Amino acid sequence: MSTILLVIIVLLLIGALPTWGYSSAWGYGPSGVLGLILIVLLVLLLMGRI
């Protein structure tokens, strides 16, 4: 389970980088969603749910 979460987080980190031409106009959207997901995962980890 934790390996799958780690792979998903790494893929989201790569996808949030605005290095491709089509994603340069997205602004803070991808990184904001990634930050929200990381906060939720951190809270779940601290609560012992993961």
DSSP notation for 23-46? GTTSTTHHHHHHHHHHHHHHHHHH
Kindly report the pTM of this predicted structure: 0.54
User: What confidence score (pLDDT) does residue 4 get?
Assistant: 78
pLDDT given for residue 7 in this prediction: 80
**C-alpha count within 13 angstroms, C-beta hemisphere, residue 26:** 16
Among 50, 2, 5, 12, which Cα is nearest to 34's?
A: 12
pLDDT at 9: 76
One-letter amino acid of 33:
V
> How big is the chain, counted in residues?
50
pLDDT of residue 8: 77
What was the pLDDT predicted at 49?
A: 75
Positions in the chain short of pLDDT 70:
1, 16-24, 50
Indicate the SS3 state at residue 48: coil
